[in-house]
Structures are given as C-alpha cells and as structure tokens.
Structure 1
Amino acid sequence: MTGVVGVVIMAGVEEVEVVVAHSERVTLRVGDVFLKVDGDQARMDVEVEAMALAPTPTPEVLWRKPRVLAIAAVTGTALGRLGEPSTASPAAWGAAGAAVRELHEAPLPPWSGPSRDEIASHLDAECEWLITSGVLPTDLVTRNREIAEAALRPWTPVFTHGDLQITHVFVDGDKVTGVIDWSEASQGDAMFDLATLTLGHEDRLGDLIAGYGADVDLEVIRRGGRCEAWGRPAGWSSTASTQTRQAASSTY
C-alpha cells in the first residue's frame, strides 16, 4: 500500500527527546542520558573541564567522543522557567545563591571569557538586529541599551558559569542538586551570572542575594539583566537568541 508509513512501538525502547537543536549544537535526551553533539570541539572541551573544576554539583560525564558528549541527568527540578513564576521556595533560591558564591570564589579556570568590549559589540549587534528587523520599537531598544551600559563596567574576573539560566539550576527542596550546561564557563563578571539567573524573576533577587551572602550592586545586576536580554557573547545560538529577544519584549 502506497502513502502509508508503518510505526512499530517496541516495549522497553526509550523515546528520543530533542532538547536543543540549532546550527551549533544538538542536545538529545534518551531516558536519563543526555547526548550533546557540538560543531565546536573546543566548546565541548571547555564544558567538560569546567564541570571537573567547578565546586558545585554537576552532571556525571558518562563518555565522550570527538564532538559528542554523554552526560547523566541530574536529580531534582529546575529552579524555574523563563516567563513563568518560580515555584521554588526562598530557601531553594538562597541555596542557589550560595552555590553561585562558591563558584565565584573558586580558583579561576585557565581560559578567559569575552572581554567587556566584545560583550558591548555583541550587544550593539543584537540591538541593531532588533531595530532593523522591526521586532521592537527603536526607542525601546535605545532606552534599554543605555540602561545596560552601566553593567559594562570594569570587573574583577571570577569563575563564572556564563549561561546561568534559571533552567540550568536544579534543586530538591532547599538543596542544589546540579548545575548544567557549562559550555560558556570562563573567567568573567560575577554580576552577569546573578543577572542571568534572575532574568524575568527579579522578585526572587532578594532570596538569591541572601544566599549569595556578599554585598552586591543590585542596580548593576538589574542592568546586567538588560545585557542578558539584549545580547549574548560569542557562542550564543541564533535560536536561543531569538527566544531571549521575545522574553525581552515582554519583560522590559
């Protein structure tokens, strides 16, 4: 019979879930195993080394081949999701803050991250795209670009995650069980991590900082959220960037 595709469901066969798919990386989930296929071997090497150096809980590396990495799923649930209220307790947010502080106080990784000028250049490129494509009004983009400028100040480098989205931190009760996706880890700006984690969840910033346990410039963190929403360093995928632009239009 033509035009008919047969599908056989076999017992015990795990469903393959596409977690992320774009021109730079594909991440698949099969049961409790994540497979990452990356076009940039250096980025994958960074991810593996960063997880080995980080003092925070990280996924177990099961095996690795050229451009392919297999890691185990971490336990617990994500701290929250962008665009949705976080159901995690204040204690969970505090634990996340303590974990981030521990990371920032760890010895620096041996590689550097994007410079302040590089971040500003990417931010300008993203803002130009938003204006020329008509996604957002020019005055809105210009105003937020000016606000973000305050976050592009000199900083003392620390060990940063570099892509500390709320979905990358897993908790169980008031305990952090795992932090995932370390491909952007580097020497960087501590406030950028905090800004990224609270993007769209500024109401939980107090809980996070209570656990972080250090004096921070809240205004820099809030303005750093603009940097996170409007532009990302090299390696940020076009797919993810589009999602962030959409979040920016609704958040700011």
Structure 2
Amino acid sequence: LFGVLWLTCIYAPLAHWVWGGGWLGGLGALDFAGGAVVHISSGFAALVCALVLGARKGYGVEPMPPHNLPMTILGTGLLWFGWFGFNAGSALGANETAAVAFVATHIAASAGGFSWMVAEWWHRGKPTVLGVASGIIAGLATITPGAGFVGPLSALVIGLAAGALCYSAVVWKVKLGYDDALDVVGIHGIGGVTGILATGLFASAGGAQGLFFGNPGQFGIQVLTAVSTLLFVVVGTYVILKVVDWLVGLRISADDEELGLDLSQHNERAYSS
C-alpha cells in the first residue's frame, strides 16, 4: 500500500517536474538519470520512514553486523554493472552522450569506493570491504544526475567528494540515532543532493554548462531543484505514512518482530538449519 501511494503521489509528480514538461524542467534543471527524482526522493523518504517507524528491537544495544559480506560484494558488482544501463541508457540512444555517461559512471564509482576507504581508514584505523562497497554505491548515486553532463575529470572529483561526504553522513547516523540498516539516507539522500549541486558546478557536456563553465545561474536552479524535491518528499512521505498507519498500521507487534517476519508473515525460514 505504501509503495503504491508513494509511487503515485511522490515519484510520479517528481518525474513530471523534472522530465515531463514540469516546472523544474522548464527552468532548466539538470538531472540526467535521477539524482533528484530517484536518489534525493528515496533517501529522504527513508529518513522520514526511519523516524516515524522507530528503530528495530535492540538497535544500538545489540550488534547487528551485515548478514553476508560476500553476497554484499556480489550485489555491489551487479549494481555497478547495471548502473551503466541506468545512467548511459538515459541518453536514449547509442550516442556520444551515452558514452560520456558511461565513462563518468565508471570513474565516479571507482573514486567513491577509494574515497570512502581512505575516510574510513583515517577515521577508524582500518578500511573495510563493506566500506568500499558503500563508497562505490555512493559514487554511483552521486554521479547519476550529472553523468551525461560532466567530463572525466569532473566525474573523478564528484566521486571523491561522494565517498567522503556520504561516509560522514553515515557516521552522523550513529550519533543521531535513527535506524537505517542500508544507509539509504547517507548514501542516496546525501549522494543525490551532492550530485545535483555538483552538476550545477561541473556541467560542461551535453549542451549544459555549470558555474565553473560560465553559467552561474545553473547552480541556483540546481539548489532550487534539491530543496524543492526534499521538502516535497519529506512532507508527502509523512502524510502517506500517517494514512497507511490509519488504514492498516505500520509496525508489526513486538512478538512478531522477535519471531521474525519470515515465520510471522510467511510461515517459512530462509535457512533450514
């Protein structure tokens, strides 16, 4: 129910605003493959959901490490490969813009993984495989709005910034105390905002120009895009959550949470032993 309402009332209007002849597109907002429409929206919707739902039982008290790191790496590789279609495919053709987006995506992902690793190494004393995977996704999310508009060097700078900024956001998650198991807020929300703003600075390809290439007005449009998307998503998601809570409820019982959703909702286990 939440997914249907959110897709209809939040995602679809945002896609229209930016890509479907809406007011942000009319102003000249640059969002090549979904920095605002996909990443800011999902990231800050996740924040609202985390705050409204509350934390999992035992969060902050019991250790909750990743379930399977090898599968995490496999999933990261699949995402990285699939992101070429996500970003380069947004050119809607096998053309120069698609090539620009493909190269920018690859560079930013690599830079994001490296930057996150260095930041984690400096902050915690050791780099981790999970950190590198998170940095790669941060780089991919952050380059999404500018993939077809920025050159290789700009993509490198954006990816490096993505890893460091998104890592900082994840560190602050612990201090702020909200429960975000997949770091959607820090990686997609902050990554989306960073990418939208960076596009306003570094855009130089695909007929677009940013602040550093002689068009200061573009940066202002990108700021407006990020702020308006964020506000619309936060308010809209909160309203949808309240409607869903009123209709069917949001949170399972404490007993069901203790038992686990596999058994309480589906009467089966993921593993036989």
* TM value normalised by structure 2: 0.24
Richer in strand (by share): 1
* TM value normalised by structure 1: 0.25
Richer in helix (by share): 2
